[in-house]
């Protein structure tokens, strides 16, 4: 599990074919000196397992399934990636609950300056859009963000200066794709409502106990 609070920006050093997937070699900053072989790391929001660790980099395999759901297959040598170590139980949950399992991608539609922040507008697939709500949580390339507005075909977020300075998000140009993980709580609620006929946990139950509002 992760929080969506990016700890560092790494650099892709090498990309190699590995079966139907690829193997990534990514530089790691000094603050990652506690990671061990087998640890989970979020790379642009996708949970990867470190299979080899050296003082300046780690190597992780990316499966064909992950390539099909994420933008990792579009990485290039020298490219920058957002990185986060797995959450410790003793850590503060500064962002929101992020699993590292990417739900799909979205395309950057527009970028506009708004005071000290920057508004980004994205167009995701319809299967992702149904999970989004105004002021809900979303992870974009592994960054925990708040959904400003949900429209018929997309959504927008605001990037504050701290996020701009410590992630790769403003390197994106119109037309570029990003990894999206929707709020896991919303997915569970949808699953429960879909099984309302099989379970006593339905819309009435969620309204009665404060999980939803009319």
What pLDDT, in 10s, does the model give residues 50-76? 999 988 999 999 999 999 999 999 999
- Per mean pLDDT, which range of 128-137, 168-177, 188-197 is the poorest? 188-197
Neighbours of 76 (CB within 10 A): 7
Tell me whether residue 97 is in a domain.
no
Tell me whether residue 43 is in a domain.
yes
Domain that holds residue 20: 8-85
pLDDT at residue 91, rounded to an integer: 81
pLDDT at residue 52, rounded to an integer: 95
Tell me whether residue 201 is in a domain.
no
**One domain for residues 183 and 115:** yes
pLDDT at residue 95, rounded to an integer: 87
pLDDT at residue 72, rounded to an integer: 98
Tell me whether residue 153 is in a domain.
yes
Those residues with Cβ within 8 angstroms of residue 161's Cβ, 6 or more apart along the chain or in another chain: 116, 117
What pTM value is reported for the model?
0.87
pLDDT exceeds 80 at position 133: yes
């Amino acid at each position: 599990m992760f929080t969506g609070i990016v700890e560092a920006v790494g650099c892709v050093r090498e990309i190699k074919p590995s079966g139907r997937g690829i193997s990534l070699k990514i530089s790691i900053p000094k603050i990652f000196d506690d990671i061990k072989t087998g640890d989970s790391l979020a790379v642009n929001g996708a949970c990867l397992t470190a299979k080899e660790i050296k003082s300046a980099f780690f190597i992780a395999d990316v499966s064909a399934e992950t390539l099909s759901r994420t933008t990792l297959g579009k990485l290039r040598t020298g490219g920058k990636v957002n990185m986060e170590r797995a959450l410790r139980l003793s850590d503060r949950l500064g962002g929101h609950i992020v699993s590292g399992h990417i739900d799909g991608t979205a395309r950057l539609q527009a970028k506009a300056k708004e005071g000290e922040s920057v508004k980004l507008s994205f167009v995701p697939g319809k299967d992702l859009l149904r999970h989004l709500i105004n002021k809900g949580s979303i992870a974009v390339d592994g960054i925990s963000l708040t959904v400003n507005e949900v429209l018929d075909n997309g959504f927008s977020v605001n990037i504050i200066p701290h996020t701009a300075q410590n992630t790769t998000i403003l390197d994106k140009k119109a037309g570029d794709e990003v990894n999206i993980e929707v709020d896991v709580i919303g997915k569970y609620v949808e699953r429960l409502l879909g099984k309302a006929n099989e379970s006593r946990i339905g819309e009435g139950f969620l309204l009665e106990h404060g999980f939803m509002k009319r």
